[in-house]
Structure 1
Amino acid sequence: MSSEGRANNLRGRDSECEALRNLLDTARSGSCQVLVLRGEAGVGKTALLDYLSKLAAGFRCVHVAGVESDMELAFAGLQQLCAPLLDRLGELPEPQRDALNVAFGRAAGPTPDRFLVGLAVLSLMAAAAHGEPLLCIVDDAQWLDKVSVQTLAFVARRLLADPIALVFAARDTGAEALAGLPELRIEGLSDFAARELLESVMVGGIDPVVRDRIVAETRGVPLALLQVPRSISATELAGGFWISGKRSSTAAIEQDFVRRIHSLPEPTQRLLLVAAAEPLGDPALFLAAAAHLGIPAGDLAPAESAGLIDFGPRLRFSHPLIRSAAYRAADLDDRRRIHRALAEATDPRADPDRRAWHAANAAAGPDESVAAELEASADRAQSRGGLAAAAAFLERATALTADPARRADRAIAAALAKRDAADPEAAQQLLAIAELGQLSDLHRGQIARLRAQMEFVRSRAGEPGAPRIGDTAPALLDAAKQLDPRDEYSARESYLEAIAAHLYAGRLGDADALQATAEAAHAAVSRDSELPRSVDHLLKGFAERLTGGVTTGAAPLRVALLRMCEQVQSNDKLARRWVVVPAFPILQESAAHELWEDTLLHQLSTAAVRHARDAGALAGLPRALVYRAGVHLLAGEFVSAATLIDEAGTITASTENHTPVRYHSVLLDAWRGNGPDAIRAIEAAAADGKARGEGRLLGLTGYASAVLYNGLGRYDEALTAAREACSYPDLGFYGWCLYELAEAAARTDDREAGAHAVRQLEERAGASGTDWGLGALAGAHALLADDDHADALFTEAIDRLQRTTVKVHLARTRLTYGEWLRRANRRVDARRHLGEAHEMFTGMGAQGFAERARRELTATGEKVRKPSVSSGAELTAQEAQIARLAGDGLTNQEIGAQLFISTHTVEWHLRKVFVKLGITSRRQLRTVAWAS
């Protein structure tokens, strides 16, 4: 008999079964398949997974089922799924192997990069699929711990060319991280199939009228139909007294299970409760707990005979609803007794966190010793990158704390962890709990700040009912004043957050309120004769700049950034603190831009991403990624910038947060120069900024419009956009707006506007002392200089910008110099600079500027030959990225590690690249110019 024949023939599921068969066939052929079965409880998802498992002849199968009581333990579900595959752990690169060992609690070490853990799981699955295809089944994904389901979603989106099938089953709500993956909706059976199924389980037959009424009321939910013989009496069946609408719901089905459980002997009920409270299904742990209770394991037999549970290598309930029914069937005292037995049976060295969790559930009231164990578990979870788990442990520790002051401490710590794990609603609830305790003035300041921070984040995300962003500044300022005499460091951060709120409000904000905030911050930081910390210097720099004008504040801002660069190498705790403070990316970025410091910007943005990933800070990681994307954008590495922006969007979506407009995504569209697409993105961003009161976004869209139109040679429109952008001095990119204004003014012969832009730029870039700032200033001067001085200014600008990482400005200067040389009839020199500009812009993917350079080259008489793959036009974005890395000499394993894909997927992409480009070796890739 074929494997298909051996598999159960499910009534009414022909199309679903065919989809699963096709999935396995495709995976066997070497192409990864991912599918999410979605549907209500009891609709038949688990039965379809069993069918899939029986059908998978020749596959290596691994399986995990989410358990509601295990949702708070970081990586618990992922560890169960991967346990059978750990025989291939030695094949992983050492960093991935170490990350997985720390995440699974198999070894001690620094907090693993969350994405390195994901890559390790990806590599482990790919290694396991080398000899035979791999089938991974995840049932009840809505009950997996959050970090496990997020990691599996990460893996599912990066599997491509491996013989792996990854199939999830989840209820309609929950496991939101799986959104966007291929999905198969599982509905109730058709009336015909439902009648067949009901008749097959009714041994004595059933009246057709009663049958049809039951089928209608159950909506074809298979589990409800299968429970009819056990849940409806013969009298009801004979008389047709089906209680309409009360027996087809999940709750009603579960209640039927409860009644069946209550009919069992009391010792059997206790053992079922042990199995329900123990998520691993470990027979040894089950037997040890039964021994602690003094109940023979054989007393489980009646439950096995009733078809409720199977006692094998793993204890497995016949349906997940039976587990929850067994747990809910018991009273509170019995549950505590069972959890106490499980805590005593759990090895405190091998599994201290699950032991602490059982002990917490066993506690009848406040218990400081258990609360302390939970705090230790929170520390371990955080060290493994499990912020959500750490928050859950701290939340439970709060509930078990009797001392009012200690309770407030733990509640605030739990709220911070919930905030950092992107769960602001739970954080607000914990703050309310803290306020019921004995609060010190410090506690009140901490609570005020945390609430203000979350309102700041809500306003930036544009959530319904959120305040306009400028309106969040007063609460942040008030929190700073409350904290100032009690926690000076946090107070300084809160002052900075208030300033950041005003920076975002920009031209739509209250200028007087901004000035008052800056003055209060300046007064606070001026009380100290010595400023020992980087945060002090950062605050002093912004306060001086905002109160004293453009010529002030540079010295403390530079000191702040230099010290921060030193601290990211030596003080992980402090650096991670910056990651989770919502305002810090804009403050660091704006300070570096005001100083025209590309090197410091590179170091700090790299550190921000590293520390956010190390800490698993899902609330802060998207901000850090976009911060880093801005650095790639300035370097002309548009593909890298887009990859980080997309990653930030994916993470934000998976954590159910609203997504604010990504500033650098708008700039990326402008620099790429696709007019219609860029204009739509700019207009949408401007509308969003107006709606949220985010005036900074209006300045940014004005700047982006000026870049776009200057690139397209539409200089009148560029001048209008640049004038609008320059109507308010947005810290951080105002100097760039001035450069666009200078070029547009030069092209439209508006000497007055150009002279004004250069004077303003002299005050800013001219005082920077950096090659970036002085190079940009020299380039702007050259645009408006007479012929006697322009040549030397262009040469100075290029010399300076060549020593920076800011390749977009270097390419712009080469272009404008080439254009000037052509007009001066110096065609040979013009061709050299225009050719270099064209090559740089083409490599970046800056279509508008590249076309402008091409037109100028053509005017010099140069024939411009398009390279065979000048911008990766024949390749997908990922193929081009892989090909470029391979051409740079990276191995497949190194490429996979950089791009979070398997080595086999890299090989698969390279084979396609070779065919498309008509080449046969990696060496030939070095001769191709790639879009960055």
Structure 2
Amino acid sequence: MAIGDRELRGRRQENAVLDGVIDAARAGRAGVLVLRGEAGVGKSALLDAFVARGKRCQVARAAGVESEMELAYAGLQQLCQPFLGRLDHLPPPQRDALGTAFGLVNGSAPDRFLVGLAVLNLLSDAADQQHPVVCVVDDAQWLDRVSAQVLAFVARRLEAESVVLVFSVRDGEEHELTGLPELEIRGLDGDDARALLDSVLPGLADQRVRDRIVAETRGNPLALLELPLAWTTAELTDGFTSGGLAGRIEEGFARRLEPLPADTRLLLLTAAAEPLGDATLLWRAAEQLGLGADPAAAAIESGLISFGQHVRFRHPLVRSAAYRMASPQDRQAVHRALAEVTDPAVDPDRRAWHRAQATARPDEDVAAELENSAHRAAGCGGLVAAAAFLERSAALTPEPAQRARRALAAAGVMRSSGALRSALTLLGSAASGPPDPLRAAEIERLRGEIAFDQGHAGDAARHLLDAAKQLEPLDPGQSRETYLEALSAAMWSTGSEAPAILMETANAVPAATGSERPVDLLLDALALRFTRGYPAAAPVLAKALAHALQTEIGADEVSSWLWLAGNRAGGTIALEVWDFGAALELALRQDRLARESGALVQLQFALNFRANLLCLTGELSVVAGLLEEDRRIAAASGNPRVAYGNLMLEAFRGNEATATHLIDTTIRQATARDQGRMTAFATYGRAVLHNGLGRYDVALEAARQVFEQDVVGYGVLVVSELAEAASRTGDTKLVEAALAWLTERTSALPTDWGLGIESRVRALLTSDEAAYRESLDRLNRTSLRVEIARAHLLYGEWLRREGRRVDAREQLRAAHDLLIEMGLGGFAERARHELLATGETVRKRSPETANDLTAQEAQIAGLAQDGLTNPEIAAQLFISHRTVEWHLRKAYSKLGITSRRQLRGALARSPA
């Protein structure tokens, strides 16, 4: 097999792997592969050969270019160009997101994962088994970051599509493709390496010299082909330790460039600085530089570059050699020429970047143009590009105050893009500007937000509190937003100073303004809760919650830290006022908005928040589906799992080993990250687990820790665990404390949930049967099936101890049946033992899975049962409609049905 005029040697195994990927696509299974190896090892040649063998495939190619890494979506647009005629086939939100990202339409900044879903469906729609879509991306380590993230997302979501994604990445370079299937590309073995060397050094007779060169190059094909053209045999045998092999190859290319005429080197430099390979643009720039056609002849003769419709270098190392060996003056001249010939209407951002590279001293005109480019980049979701533009804009700004303003803006965008260290560095530049109280306060606020991102909740609260105080006389609205952020951070903090910073923040909040903004109502409610106690705060808490439920949130607000703080506050308040329905509504809203905006990190939190709430309704199979989605999103996006819902799921199931591991791990990590609220949450999980297992002393210690900390929103959850464990260990004083705590709250805001738990605790303390019955009556008016089952269990246990076996069996059977149905293994076993003690025979049972449906199959089947179409399910779950079809077919087979109409009955027959 030949590539160009040279045989591709020694790659039979690699070619077989690549051919297998194509074969799988023709069978309807997507394929993803990352070729990894050092520079020059033959990755590009393998990709060329792979494409040449892809008969009847729809091929799209792209290549990362080091100088283009700052231009958002540049690589992705290059790859998707052949398929853009199918944009109208996408659902409108996806079509708009991709069109905005590529600058085809105007719109608000799309989330990169909504763009990713659009690309996934664009490729899926274009593919079929007869004509698979084959996407090849060379030098993927040099893709702009957002393109790389989107393609990594797509690669991790491909399942049942006839789509192939093959990347090449260079060893030692950072990239976004970690975790995808890899094929390491190594140098040629001895015989193939010597044969390749003989093709360029046919007269080399000394076997020892040949062996030394092969050994030093490690069989690297580019080194074997190119180094003999630039280095003497003696130099080649000296070894390649200086600068490494890639450095030696690049230096070899530089040696071959040095003898070329000055105008030819300038032409090659211009081509190196122009990342598109646009021949028309290159010749126009050459004309600007006063270069004629003659320099091209020597360039072509060198074999290092070819000119056609596109300009192509022999290898990326030729491009880097041409650029790095040039003088700064020549580089600036070339970028100036490229800026002149780049159309500002068609490609303003690339023109701005060329102008910036052509400028050695501060220049307000260039800085302003870069700032405009930053706004455009942010508008299409390219936060990394926007940050780079703003950082360079600040560096080129002559006026100090304006420079500080742009540095602060760059820091904010850097932080949003996840580049926290770079953001802090830019904050230092912003702080060095002339004194400005508002800018100083905004810098402090951003420091606090970054500290929270880094997991330092206590430090974050301190910075945010200081910022809020500074902002009070300057920008009252921003000040109150910052106070809410500070309170949220303080509520998450841990350690000996946590209560102090929480109270200091709450006491510092200014008096209520009468504003109806959700931010102001949430802030006033939480501040009152800490400063004046629950009874005084209860009406304001309820009002804040009502307004939060009525307020529409824009999808563009979902990724903001303030929105997250407000949403957490709203959910916390819903629990604090015993309004389970409101808490679930807020969780569902967070889920919906995160999906609509494509904000996957926020969606992961929403899924876990919903999962924790649904643990109380006993819908553990739904909980498992939500947590499986969290896992899939983490795998697709490369973000860590949120996963704290897994802890509660296993605790309620009574799986001691798994739950204990998750609890201990969460506490260890939360302590290290200064997140006391998560420590309290995990400790509450320990109380649930051990109450279910009947180990009341362990449950009591865990519940006491959370109860005594007065963690807002968790008291309603842990108080019943505390009372139950305390009553079983004979600690009457703690049961009394729990009842007093409950009475104070239910008097201020009576709800069936709160009154039901209060009656239960009173029954545990007083052995009043009427209180047991009232607890059941109240809780039966709610959707809290776990609490209902546990009320039956506690009532039945009391009746048995009273010697009323027949009455006890009625309650214990109801508890046991409910607990088994819901899958609460530990509590169900407790009920079984109590039934045995009444003399009733009870077979030990455990929940079964629904006909062996996987969590994803069950979730998709459930959504289909609810009436969602395949495209709607695909959009909700961030997968393609073909993957939905694939999972539904498997679910039908397992359920023994053939259509959607049969799903409701089939799923109803399946055990929970």
Same fold by TM-score, threshold 0.5 exceeded?
yes
Name the aligned partner's letter for residue 683 of structure 2. Answer: G
Bigger CA drift: 823-832 or 224-233?
A: 823-832
Partner in structure 2 of residue 267 of structure 1 = 263
- Compared CA separation, residues 117 and 780, structure 1 to 2 (3 A): farther
In structure 1, distance between residues paired with 2:5 and 2:721: 68
- Compared CA separation, residues 921 and 89, structure 1 to 2 (3 A): same
Partner in structure 1 of residue 471 of structure 2 = 483
Match of 2:888 among 896, 900, 910: 910
Residues 156, 635 of structure 2: 8 Å contact kept: no
- Compared CA separation, residues 598 and 7, structure 1 to 2 (3 A): farther
How far apart are 1:263 and its partner, in Å?
A: 2.7
How far apart are 1:393 and its partner, in Å?
A: 1.7
Bigger CA drift: 59-68 or 755-764?
A: 755-764
Q: Could you list the per-position Cα deviations for residues 330-356 of structure 1 after superposition, in whole angstroms to 9, with x for gaps in the alignment?
A: 222332332233333333333322232
Match of 2:252 among 252, 256, 269: 256
Superposed, which structure 2 residues align to 1:456-605 within 5 Å?
456-460=452-456, 469-506=457-494, 508-519=496-507, 521-522=508-509, 525-526=510-511, 530-531=514-515, 533-569=517-553, 577-579=560-562, 584=566, 586-602=568-584, 604-605=586-587
How far apart are 1:142 and its partner, in Å?
A: 1.1
Determine whether 1:38 maps to 2:36: yes
Residues 629, 645 of structure 1: 8 Å contact kept: no
Partner in structure 2 of residue 154 of structure 1 = 153
Determine whether 1:646 maps to 2:631: yes
In structure 2, distance between residues paired with 1:304 and 1:471: 60
Q: Could you list the per-position Cα deviations for residues 160-206 of structure 1 after superposition, in whole angstroms to 9, with x for gaps in the alignment?
A: 11122111111234454211111122233334433332222213325
- Compared CA separation, residues 839 and 118, structure 1 to 2 (3 A): farther
In structure 2, distance between residues paired with 1:354 and 1:737: 58
Superposed, which structure 2 residues align to 1:913-932 within 5 Å?
913-927=891-905, 928-929=907-908
Partner SS for 1:72: coil
Determine whether 1:102 maps to 2:92: no
Determine whether 1:167 maps to 2:166: yes
Name the aligned partner's letter for residue 48 of structure 2. Answer: D
Partner in structure 1 of residue 121 of structure 2 = 123
In structure 1, distance between residues paired with 2:342 and 2:794: 72
Name the aligned partner's letter for residue 708 of structure 1. Answer: L
Name the aligned partner's letter for residue 267 of structure 1. Answer: D
Partner in structure 1 of residue 436 of structure 2 = 440
- Compared CA separation, residues 267 and 29, structure 1 to 2 (3 A): same
In structure 2, distance between residues paired with 1:589 and 1:850: 30
How far apart are 1:853 and its partner, in Å?
A: 6.8
Partner in structure 1 of residue 338 of structure 2 = 342
Aligned residues: 901
Q: Could you list the per-position Cα deviations for residues 691-747 of structure 1 after superposition, in whole angstroms to 9, with x for gaps in the alignment?
A: 445443332222101222333454454334323332321122122110222333456
In structure 2, distance between residues paired with 1:107 and 1:529: 41
Partner in structure 2 of residue 190 of structure 1 = 189
Match of 2:870 among 892, 907, 911: 892
How far apart are 1:578 and its partner, in Å?
A: 3.8
In structure 2, distance between residues paired with 1:282 and 1:860: 87
Partner in structure 2 of residue 143 of structure 1 = 142
Q: Could you list the per-position Cα deviations for residues 578-634 of structure 1 after superposition, in whole angstroms to 9, with x for gaps in the alignment?
A: 4577x5554443333223344554455555566667777788776566556555655
Bigger CA drift: 913-922 or 127-136?
A: 913-922
How far apart are 1:451 and its partner, in Å?
A: 2.4
How far apart are 1:538 and its partner, in Å?
A: 3.0
In structure 1, distance between residues paired with 2:223 and 2:893: 55
Name the aligned partner's letter for residue 441 of structure 1. Answer: P
- Compared CA separation, residues 304 and 865, structure 1 to 2 (3 A): farther
Residues 851, 894 of structure 2: 8 Å contact kept: no
Partner in structure 2 of residue 85 of structure 1 = 83
Superposed, which structure 2 residues align to 1:137-536 within 5 Å?
137-233=136-232, 236=234, 242=238, 244-246=240-242, 248-296=244-292, 299-460=295-456, 469-506=457-494, 508-519=496-507, 521-522=508-509, 525-526=510-511, 530-531=514-515, 533-536=517-520
How far apart are 1:141 and its partner, in Å?
A: 1.1
In structure 2, distance between residues paired with 1:860 and 1:922: 46
Residues 6, 55 of structure 1: 8 Å contact kept: no
Residues 60, 135 of structure 1: 8 Å contact kept: yes
In structure 1, distance between residues paired with 2:610 and 2:386: 27
- Compared CA separation, residues 541 and 729, structure 1 to 2 (3 A): same
In structure 1, distance between residues paired with 2:407 and 2:752: 49
In structure 2, distance between residues paired with 1:815 and 1:303: 86
Q: Could you list the per-position Cα deviations for residues 375-415 of structure 1 after superposition, in whole angstroms to 9, with x for gaps in the alignment?
A: 22222222222222221221121122111111111101110
Residues 447, 460 of structure 2: 8 Å contact kept: no
- Compared CA separation, residues 819 and 175, structure 1 to 2 (3 A): farther
Name the aligned partner's letter for residue 676 of structure 1. Answer: A
TM-score by length of 2: 0.89
Partner SS for 1:227: helix
Partner SS for 1:794: helix
Uncovered stretches (5+) of structure 2, i.e. residues with no partner? none
Root mean square deviation of aligned Cα:
3.6
Q: Could you list the per-position Cα deviations for residues 662-713 of structure 1 after superposition, in whole angstroms to 9, with x for gaps in the alignment?
A: 5434223323432211111112222334444544333222210122233345
In structure 2, distance between residues paired with 1:851 and 1:576: 43
Name the aligned partner's letter for residue 66 of structure 2. Answer: E
In structure 1, distance between residues paired with 2:637 and 2:739: 40
Partner in structure 2 of residue 463 of structure 1 = none
In structure 2, distance between residues paired with 1:838 and 1:630: 17
- Compared CA separation, residues 418 and 714, structure 1 to 2 (3 A): same
TM-score by length of 1: 0.87
Residues 875, 913 of structure 1: 8 Å contact kept: yes
How far apart are 1:488 and its partner, in Å?
A: 3.1
How far apart are 1:137 and its partner, in Å?
A: 0.8
Partner SS for 1:61: strand
Partner SS for 1:703: helix
Q: Could you list the per-position Cα deviations for residues 293-313 of structure 1 after superposition, in whole angstroms to 9, with x for gaps in the alignment?
A: 444457434323322223334
Partner in structure 2 of residue 56 of structure 1 = 54
In structure 2, distance between residues paired with 1:887 and 1:614: 21
In structure 2, distance between residues paired with 1:758 and 1:477: 35
Partner SS for 2:852: coil
Q: Could you list the per-position Cα deviations for residues 214-252 of structure 1 after superposition, in whole angstroms to 9, with x for gaps in the alignment?
A: 223223332222222222136x36xx7635523753222
Residues 841, 850 of structure 1: 8 Å contact kept: no
Name the aligned partner's letter for residue 576 of structure 2. Answer: E
Determine whether 1:797 maps to 2:779: yes
Partner in structure 1 of residue 879 of structure 2 = 901
How far apart are 1:787 and its partner, in Å?
A: 2.0
How far apart are 1:66 and its partner, in Å?
A: 0.6
Q: Could you list the per-position Cα deviations for residues 854-902 of structure 1 after superposition, in whole angstroms to 9, with x for gaps in the alignment?
A: 88899998999999x9534612221221222222222222221221222
- Compared CA separation, residues 424 and 633, structure 1 to 2 (3 A): farther
- Compared CA separation, residues 711 and 114, structure 1 to 2 (3 A): farther
Partner SS for 1:199: helix
In structure 2, distance between residues paired with 1:476 and 1:416: 15
- Compared CA separation, residues 841 and 623, structure 1 to 2 (3 A): closer
In structure 2, distance between residues paired with 1:873 and 1:718: 35
- Compared CA separation, residues 432 and 841, structure 1 to 2 (3 A): same
In structure 2, distance between residues paired with 1:7 and 1:835: 77
Match of 2:681 among 679, 700, 715: 700
Residues 647, 685 of structure 2: 8 Å contact kept: yes
Q: Could you list the per-position Cα deviations for residues 469-489 of structure 1 after superposition, in whole angstroms to 9, with x for gaps in the alignment?
A: 535543443333333332334
Match of 2:748 among 767, 775, 781: 767
How far apart are 1:324 and its partner, in Å?
A: 1.8
Residues 420, 618 of structure 1: 8 Å contact kept: no
In structure 2, distance between residues paired with 1:452 and 1:420: 13
Partner in structure 2 of residue 465 of structure 1 = none
